[in-house]
Amino acid sequence: MRAPPLRADFVPRPGEAGRIETALLAPRAPDDAALRVVALHGLGGSGKPLLAAAIARTPEVRAAFPHGMLWATLRRAPNLGAILEGWIRALGNTDFRSWAIETRRLTARNGRRRPSEPNR
């Protein structure tokens, strides 16, 4: 897990944290293989990453995810392909290279359109 460190001026928000923990830790049926997504949203500068980092460090959440957690900050239009590639490598596939990422890099460098792109 590479959650941001908690700052000295972090102010706990037990109400919000409790609701998020409840969503993360809700019991699941044995045959429930659905992906569970929990997202935080709000005004910029309101401390969403720090709140998420504090929750990720609680003993209950760490126990529920004993193999670790994957972390990404989605501010400033991140390269999602690169984030996913990093996660795949972190999970053990160190030889993984995303063909789509390399194609986009080459396309951006030489200005050529991929065959699937419409003319503009």
pTM of the complete model beyond 0.85:
no
Categorize the per-residue pLDDT at 60 as very low, low, confident or very high, splitting at 50, 70 and 90. Answer: very high
Domain interval for residue 40: 1-77
For every residue of 56-94, DSSP letters joined together read HTSHHHHHH-TT--------S---HHHHHHHHHHHTT-T
Categorize the per-residue pLDDT at 120 as very low, low, confident or very high, splitting at 50, 70 and 90. Answer: very low
Query: What total number of domains does the chain contain?
Result: 2
Same domain, 53 and 94: no
Same domain, 93 and 64: no
pLDDT at res. 102: 52
Same domain, 67 and 95: no
Ramachandran area for residue 5 (φ above 0: left; ψ -120 to 50: alpha; else beta): beta
pLDDT in tens, 67-115: 888 888 777 778 888 888 888 888 888 888 776 555 555 455 555 545 5
φ, ψ at 116 (rounded to 5°): -80, -10
